[in-house]
Amino acid sequence: MIRNLRFRKRNSVSMARRILTPVIFVLLAFVFCGFLLAAVGSNPLAVYARMMKTVCSYSGLTRSIEAGIPLMLTGLAVSFGYRMNLNNIGADGQYALGSLFCIGFALYGPVMPAPLKILCMFLVSMLGGALAALIAAFPKAKWGVNETILTMMLNYIFLYVMDFLMYGPWKERNQMVAQTRAIREKYWLPDLGSSGINSVLLVVIAIAVLLYFFHTRTTWGYEMEVIRQSPRAAQYAGMSVAKATLLVLCASGAIAGLAGFAQVAGIIHRVQANLPNGAGYTGIVIAFLAGLNPLVVLLVGFLFGALQISAVAVQLIGVPSQVATMIQGTIMLFVVAGEFFNRYELVGRKK
């Protein structure tokens, strides 16, 4: 029976299939996780119901967006790098340094009119992220040093720098928590009306749209695509692969650094120890699930935000919040496996 089935490469993949396959495999991932939940003694249906209920409430929605914003940005950062086959595993560290630059400037920088100050915070957080990436980008561009390892190792350094500042000089006085004090309220980005959603979301959406436009319509995007597909052809066309590597990795870092800006100016208005909390790594998953498409990254980032929020909620019924991480990982595995069915189809063997 099995012997009579075989895989055949698909000639074309319809749009419907391209959208439906990941959806189906995400659902399968939840089914699979249900077995795991049952195995540790929880009722998976109850857990999922609770999660759904949390997300579907209005406050759940706004909190999902809040949690999703840094994830969207790291997702955008990672996918931007992958668009030129650069593995930026360091979004966590870049996020950290971006947030440190931002809070440093906000708390200890010069006093300015609010719009200007916010603009500068925006820029310095990008600068922080870009500098964090530059440490890996320069050796990569100059000598071809593996950027995967460099960016990943640098995460530890920046997170320790962050710890040092949070527990040390920048710690809020008279507080047990390792965090800075909040920035002044006039530097906060406003909420969108009374919706409870911060306007930094618009910044994130604008960046995603810009990136989409960049990839599809600009000569730089074209250059990136050529280098991604064939570095040899890029040299042949007179492109400087080294220069592009440097710029793209730094830009990727700058986008990750913006997650720091989003937190400081938009969401928590301060920096805490271990603020990134693995967002850089989750960004890798998001980038892949979104097929490196910036607009899809927004959607997937939101869903992952929702997952995190709902996982916190199920703690109340005795399920560890790590369930979010578990589901994330399972979804990743299932969707990657599902990709296979987009490329191949199962057919009966002909005689």
Partner 1 sequence: MKKEMDPVLQMKHITKTFGSVTANRDVDLSVYSGEIHALLGENGAGKSTLMNILTGIYRPDGGEIWYKGQKRDIHSPKDAVALGIGMVHQHFRLIPTLTVAENVYLYSGKKSFFLNRDKMEKEIRECSGQYNLQVTPEAYVWQLSVGEQQRVEIIKLLHQGAEVLILDEPSAVLTPQEAQSMFDTLRKMADSGKAVIVISHKMNEVMKNADRITVLKNGRVEDTMPASEADVERLTRGIVGDRTLPEQERGQNSEPETEQRPVQDPEQEARKEAAKAGLQTSSEEPVQGLRQTSPAAAEGAAQGQKHVCGEEVFFMEEVSAKNDRGLPALKKITLSVRAGEIFGIAGVAGNGQRELSEVIAGLRPVTEGKILLSGKDLSKAAMKQHIQEGIAFIPEDRLQTGLVPELTFTENIILKSYESDRYSRRGILQKQNMRDDAKTYAGQFDIRHGGLDLPVGLMSGGNQQKLLFAREVSGDPRLIVAAYPVRGLDIGAAESIRKILRQQSRRGAAVVFISEELEEIFAMCDRVGVLCDGELMGIRAIEETDFQEIGRMMSGEREETK
Q: Which of 30, 32, 138, 220 binds partner 1 (CB under 8 A)?
A: 220
Which lies closer to partner 1 via its Cβ, residue 5 or residue 317? 5
> Coil, strand, or helix at residue 55?
helix
Positions 236 through 255 that interact with partner 1 (CB under 8 A)? 236-238
Q: How buried is 348 (Cβ within 10 angstroms: 0-12 exposed, 13-18 middle, 19+ buried)?
A: exposed
CB neighbour list of residue 150: distance below 8 Å, 6 or more residues apart: 90, 135, 136, 139, 140
Scanning the structure block, which residue is given the tokens 């008279």? 174
Which lies closer to partner 1 via its Cβ, residue 221 or residue 278? 221
Which lies closer to partner 1 via its Cβ, residue 138 or residue 220? 220
Q: Which of 222, 274, 315, 333 binds partner 1 (CB under 8 A)?
A: 222
Which lies closer to partner 1 via its Cβ, residue 41 or residue 238? 238
Contact flags string 3-42 toward partner 1, x per CB under 8 A: ---x----xx------------------------------
Report the chain's terminal Cα–Cα distance, integer Å.
13
Distance (Å, whole) CA 103 – CA 186:
14
Handedness of CA 207, 209, 210, 216 (dihedral sign): positive
Which lies closer to partner 1 via its Cβ, residue 11 or residue 194? 11
Q: Which of 146, 175, 235, 315 binds partner 1 (CB under 8 A)?
A: 235
| Token pair for 199 | 């306007």
Positions 128 through 167 that interact with partner 1 (CB under 8 A)? none
Q: Do 97 and 258 contact (CB within 8 A), yes or no?
A: no
Q: Do 69 and 201 contact (CB within 8 A), yes or no?
A: yes
* Least spacing, CB of residue 13 vs partner 1, in Å: 12
| Token pair for 24 | 């189906």
For 32-188, strand residue ranges (E) read: none
Segment contacting partner 1 by CB under 8 A, of 38-46, 82-90, 113-121, 229-237: 229-237
Distance (Å, whole) CA 247 – CA 224:
11
Which lies closer to partner 1 via its Cβ, residue 163 or residue 225? 225
Contact flags string 172-211 toward partner 1, x per CB under 8 A: ----------------------------------------
Provide the 8-state DSSP code for 265.
I
Which lies closer to partner 1 via its Cβ, residue 186 or residue 350? 350
How many residues in the shown chain lie near partner 1 by CB under 8 A? 21
* Least spacing, CB of residue 349 vs partner 1, in Å: 9
Q: Which of 14, 59, 229, 321 binds partner 1 (CB under 8 A)?
A: 229
Q: How buried is 182 (Cβ within 10 angstroms: 0-12 exposed, 13-18 middle, 19+ buried)?
A: middle
Q: By the criterion CB under 8 A, which residues form the site for partner 1?
A: 6, 11-12, 217-223, 225-226, 229-230, 232-233, 235-238, 350
